[in-house]
Each structure stands twice: as C-alpha cells, then as structure tokens.
Amino acid sequence: MKNKTIGFVGTGVMGRSMAQHLMKAGFELNVFTRTKEKAEDLIEKGARWQESVASLAENSDVIITIVGYPSDVEEVYFGEGGLLHNAKPGSYVIDMTTSSPELAQRIAEEAKNAGIHAFDAPVSGGDVGAKNGTLTIMAGGEEQHFNEILPALQAMGENIVLQGNAGSGQHTKMCNQIAIASGMMGVCEAIIYAEEAGLDPKTVLKSIEFGAAGSWSLSNLGPRMIEGDFEPGFYVKHFIKDMKIAIDSAERLQIAVPGLKLAKELYDQLSQAGGDNKGTQALYQYYKMMASDR
C-alpha cells in the first residue's frame, strides 16, 4: 500500500487534516477541490494539484472523497467527468462523506461493473478527531479487499471497523447520528439547567462527564457551549442533512425515531435563524434564547 498514490477530493474542516495525516504517513497525494485556495497548504507540503476529478482519478490508485452532500457525491462519482468513468480498473474508491446507504450501494454496483473496488467509510470524531488522526471509521464494502485500504484508513483513524457490504458504513453512521441527535439536546438542557440553578457549569461537567451521563458531545462540545465558542467542528447544515438521511432511512425500515425528529426540528429552527454555518454545539444558543424568553 505504501507505493500507492492516493487521490483526495474535498479539503474542508475535516478533509484537510485527514489529507495531512496521509502525507505524514508517507503516501504520495494528489488533491482536487472546487476552490484551489483551500488546498494551498497541502500543495505547499508536497501534494500534487489536479485540475479535475477526471485527472485525479487517472493518476491515483486509491481515491478518497469527503464532500458535503449526497448531490456532491453524485457529481464527483458519476458522468463522463466523474471518478467511476475515469478511475483505473483495479483501483479503489472510498467515499468518507456521510451520505445515503442507497447511494453507497449504487456506487459499489457501478464501480464493480468498471472493475473498481468501492467502499463507503463515513467518519465520526469531528474536527478534533480529524486533527489528531483518531477518527472512528465505519466501513462498508467487500471484505476480501478491505485489507488493501486499511493502511490508508489507519493513517486517519483509530477505531476502524468493516461493518458489512456496501452501504453498511452509511447505515452505521446513521446509528451514530441518531444517538448524537438526542444526546445533543440532553447536553444543552443539562448546561442550561446548571446555569439557571446557579451552578458553575464547568464544575458540573467535572462531575457528570465521568459518570453515566458521559459522552463525547458532553466532554468536547459542552465546554465550547459554556465558552460561547460556536465555530464549526461539524456544521449545523451538514448535521441537518445527516438527520434527514437518517429519518428517510428509518421510514424505509418502518422504524419510529421521535427523538431524532424532534432534534431535527430544533436544528431546523436554528438554521432558519442563521445558524447553518455554526458548529452543532450552537443548539445551545437556541435553548438559551428559549430560557431568556420566558
């Protein structure tokens, strides 16, 4: 795997750090993103800029994508200028975008017809996990080819699990987002309660984050809420996208998800108030506003 050239599409909040870890691990890196300026730091460190998705596909052995929305994934993968039309037979494509399980299955089917090995491998851990190379990676794809891509995944994450065939990684990410959605409401409500009860929320966190209430969101996003730091580690607009995918998938599976639906309603209201480009911890501002209106 060390002699493989990796193509990387998407250098946003998380993608940039993930690409840097691949370079640190010794992989040669081709990079493409819609706005070249977003890749300048990677290019300065030795990544080779590609003028198009097609060029990147032609010159890479393993191609990793992490873009915004399912529509972006479709644009990158399909059509004459897309990855599947231009990637070499025997190459690997790994979509790490949080997208729909059905789209992951479609990519895998078309990739197989072209002699390409496809994996869906969405991640969890936010900007902190991306920067530290400690992401959780949930993969879907053929087990017989998984070990070929594992070294690249290990450069970006620590908890890496092949969940099953194509689409399984995305289904697992939906489980992750469902758990986070209701949990974020709980974190916000706990901090607001502490403040309204006259407690120091920082001191409260010292007790509850190590007990049964402990969670990644409580330990990592709770302090940001308290400090008034709403910069995005993960955008509100992208979380809303994820929740919609999860709700649609749950409906196809005929599963009730009332907690998820309530969380999406609250985030929709935050979005309508101009919060799309804030971090998901900005839900605290919505609760704070409700507390001040009473």
The β-bridge partners of 5 are: 28
Whether 173 is catalytic is: yes
Q: Which residue has the tokens 């690997």?
A: 92
Which stretches within the chain are classed as H helix? 15-24, 40-44, 53-58, 70-77, 83-86, 101-113, 126-132, 143-156, 168-196, 201-208, 216-220, 222-227, 236-252, 258-270, 283-293
Cα torsion angle, 278, 182, 294, 228, sign:
negative
Distance in angstroms (rounded) separating the CA atoms of residues 65 and 95: 5
Please give the structure tokens belonging to residue 4.
């493989």
Amino acid identity of residue 126, one-letter, is G
Q: Which of 131, 173, 264, 278 is catalytic?
A: 173
**Catalytic sites, residue numbers:** 173
